[in-house]
Amino acid sequence: GENVEQHPSTLSVQEGDSAVIKCTYSDSASNYFPWYKQELGKRPQLIIDIRSNVGEKKDQRIAVTLNKTAKHFSLHITETQPEDSAVYFCAARGTAGNKLTFGGGTRVLVKP
């Protein structure tokens, strides 16, 4: 089945700086890659996603890039703010059972 690895596990940045989280996946046929944000004590929520026919997608201060050849995708947060502090999960949809497999999560702390 699909295997997703996420790095780093923790990331501390100064307010206003950029944050980058990277994920690799194993199933070359995977075609959908979402990112979820989970604030402390809250439910995970989708913040951005990308499909395999697109190389980059941007939504205000967040962007996701996909490299199908290398089988990795990344989340970029620019001009970070304290409210960006949360755990971020990447995921990939493989071909087995059409299910999402999540990465291990990245705890992001934005220091004011």
Per CB under 8 A, the list member of 12, 46, 54, 82 interacting with other proteins is 46
- Contact with other proteins (CB under 8 A): which of 43, 69, 70, 112? 43
Candidate list 21, 44, 62, 75; residue touching other proteins; CB under 8 A? 44
**Three-state SS annotation for 5-62:** EEECCEEEEECCCCEEEEEEECCCCCCEEEEEEECCCCCCEEEEEEECCCCEEEECCE
Positive or negative, the CA dihedral 67, 57, 87, 77 is positive
Does residue 103 bind other proteins (CB under 8 A)?
yes
Binding site for other proteins (CB under 8 A): 1, 32, 34, 36, 38, 40, 42-46, 49, 87, 89, 93, 97, 99-105, 107
